[in-house]
A and B are shown apart, each in its own frame.
Chain A
Amino acid sequence: MGNLDLATLVAIIRSSDDAIITKTLDGIVTSWNPAAERLFGYPAEEMIGRPITLLFPADRLHEEEDFQRRIRAGQRVDHFETVRVRKDGSHLDISVTLSPVVDAEGRLVGISKIARDISEEKRTREIARRLAAVSEASPVNLKLDDLLQSLLRLVQEFLHADTVAFLTATPDGSAVAVRATIGLEYSVANETPIPLGVGFSGRVAAARRTTYLSPVSPGDVASLFLRDSGIRTLLGVPLVLEDRLVGILNVGWRSERPVSQDEIDLVDRVGSRAAVGIDRANLFASLERTKSELEARVDERTAQLREVNAQLEAFASTVSHDLRAPLRGMHGLAQALVEDYADTLDPLGQTYARHIVAAAERMDLLIQGLLSYSRLSRANLVLSSTSLDAAVADAIEQVGALVRAREGRLSVQQPLGQSRAHHTTLVQVLANLITNAVKFVAPGVKPEVRIWTERHGNRVRLTVEDNGIGIESHHLTQIFKPFERLHGEEQYMGSGIGLGIVAKGVERMAGRVGVDSTPGKGSRFWIELPSADA
């Protein structure tokens, strides 16, 4: 301080924007600078010698006692935010800093107080808080209209506006239409879109520039409602997002008034928030439209598929009925020839008849396989916890005659456990696997079949191992397709559809199927099903 003379200090205090006041330890004002006069509305002569508590609202009188106690204790009060009353009775948000004043001997003689007007700062913080609250609430659980209404209220409140309106751009971008208003006796539905370039709103939208107009004359506005509302000052802000005009925000006052840069900034911020909301709502609406279009198409396709399915069902029924009838005629009558006319038919004739019987039997197997396959593809399978032991036992019983005829030996490593499956389908799958295991052995070899299960994570793998002829590796991928045959009819009779049924059945039970094979040694066919507790 030694470098500054008193005159300089006084000049600094007098020119300060902050109120600088000194008072006695008892709170009597001893100095009052011009900023204090401006801030509180009291001239210096009215305050000097009077208690500082004149400025205090009734509910804050206790603050002064507290300040005095802290100063006496040698403490400072730093940036304490509070409220004071001006001479005209209005309230003022201030931040105060209090320090002790000491004389040359170091004795405490008074208190200095610096007060700053923070009403603008508080307002800015409040706007930020309100905008943040609106942002947090949207967009999922806040409808666009609710969002716009809260933004309208915010603008009206902070700018003391008489009318505020959001206009959104029409889909083709050629006009703007009123979407939400506050302060207008207004029916949104009655207002026709305003073309770009027409009236105040149309000009703001076309120029994409923030526009201020005061005084407003009736010819300046296109909207009849706005024209009749007595608005004298208008502020229009374009809402632009990534170079697209989303809409405009109009603020109106019934008085002629200037608009500050702060006010324009606030409207701009509200505008960008609204632009995002409107854009999202438009996007959502177009998504909804696409979704309903897609749903309509899915419905249509489902109906077509249902129709095709019904036709397939009819086809399967026709196959089962119509193809088998003539077949039974051929088979039955050829058999009748063999049995009833053995005396009159010579050996070659009998051979012919026997071949007719065998051919008819093969064709019947093929038709039955086709029917099983198509039924398996169409059936609605309900999966539940199923005993693999019971399924294997049923399958063995079904193919028992074949196993005995081939002198096959089956060994099952019980217990096999449980899996999620459909019993009848599982039995069908297993019967086909066992049939294959027994059937495809080299001439003179007695079939040996082993069945066991292992746990693989949340799946159960059941393996059927045989000592058959095995499968060349380049055939492994095709064997599960229906109607693929690897062997000539003479050698191994079958419909060629057995493994197709296995693959389809396992697929319908949410399982997998596979095979490991060594030609000449045998094959291991396995199926994996979800375990019962998975």
Chain B
Amino acid sequence: MPDLILLAEDNETDVLLVRRSLRQAGVAASMEIVPDGDHAIAYLAGRPPYADRTRYPLPVLLLLDLKMPRRSGFDVLDWLRNESGLRRLPTVVFTNSSEVSDVNRAFDLGANSYLVKPVNAASLSDVLRLVDRYWLVTNQRPEIAPPA
């Protein structure tokens, strides 16, 4: 079973572009998409509709948009920080905002990396290739476990 990247992203166009860029970048991992913070937390906690761990296995990386309907990316980070089994899950914030206050807050809440989505499609492939090579290939993976 290939590694899984969980992408929390509400913008369907962005989802299309990320899919295309991952393909262009030759990323081997597969991707699951959740449309907001509530669904991201439900997926990670293994709650319906994601209760089936075989169908929805834990990811090795969370790509997290910040501004999403219902619970935001910050809310997801805050939730993760308090989950003893999941707090080590490598989390890369992937957002439009380059505001320093957002960057600082994300790191304060335990994000492992903060990337601004490039406008240019070629740059998007470059960034996702880097994420794959660093976090999925180079990085030593921590142990993570679903909440009891």
Contact = CB atoms under 8 A, between A and B. Distances in A.
Interface of A: 313, 316-317, 320-322, 324-329, 331-333, 335-336, 339-340, 360-361, 364, 371, 375
Given A321-B67, A333-B16, A328 B117 contact: yes
A21 to B, nearest CB: 99
B121 A331 contact: yes
Contact of B99 (A316, A329, A340): A316
Contacts of B99: 313, 316-317, 320
A331 B96 CA distance: 14
B97 A329 contact: no
8 contacts: A316-B99, A321-B67, A322-B96, A325-B14, A328-B17, A328-B119, A332-B17, A332-B120
B13 A333 contact: yes
A320 B121 contact: no
Nearest to A335: B121
A360 B96 contact: no
Given A321-B95, A336-B121, A375-B100, 6 more contacts: A316-B99, A320-B98, A321-B66, A321-B97, A324-B96, A324-B119
Contacts of A324: 96, 117, 119
Contacts of A329: 11, 13-14, 17
Interface residues of B, number: 23
Interface of A is mostly: helix
Contacts of A333: 13, 16-17
A380 to B, nearest CB: 11
A369 to B, nearest CB: 13
Contacts of A313: 99, 101
Contacts of A336: 17, 20, 121
A321 B11 contact: no
Interface of B: 11, 13-14, 16-17, 20, 66-67, 95-102, 117-122, 124
Contacts of B96: 320-322, 324-325, 328
A340 B19 CA distance: 14
A405 to B, nearest CB: 16
Nearest to B66: A321
Nearest to A328: B119
Contacts of A331: 119-121
Given A325-B14, A329-B17, A361 B119 contact: yes
A316 B102 CA distance: 12
A451 to B, nearest CB: 29
Nearest to A327: B119
B69 to A, nearest CB: 13
Given A317-B99, A332-B124, A325 B17 contact: no
Among A317, A322, A361, the one with the most B-chain Cβ atoms within 10 Å of its Cβ is A317
Given A328-B14, A329-B14, A332-B17, A371 B119 contact: no
A322 B66 CA distance: 12
Nearest to B21: A332
Nearest to B124: A332
Nearest to B16: A333
A15 B14 CA distance: 123
A325 B96 CA distance: 7
Contacts of A360: 119
Contacts of B120: 331-332, 335, 361
A500 to B, nearest CB: 19
Contacts of A327: 119
B15 to A, nearest CB: 10
Contacts of B97: 317, 320-321
A364 B20 contact: no
Contacts of B119: 324, 327-328, 331-332, 360-361, 364
Contacts of A340: 20
A323 to B, nearest CB: 9
Contact of A317 (B16, B102, B121): B102
B13 A332 contact: yes
Task: Report, nearest first, the 5 A-B pairs whose CB atoms are least far apart.
Answer: A329-B13, A335-B121, A332-B17, A332-B121, A321-B96
A344 to B, nearest CB: 17
B116 to A, nearest CB: 9
A329 B120 CA distance: 10
Contacts of A361: 119-120
A196 to B, nearest CB: 65
Among A322, A326, A332, the one with the most B-chain Cβ atoms within 10 Å of its Cβ is A332
A371 B122 CA distance: 23
Nearest to B102: A317
A325 B11 contact: yes
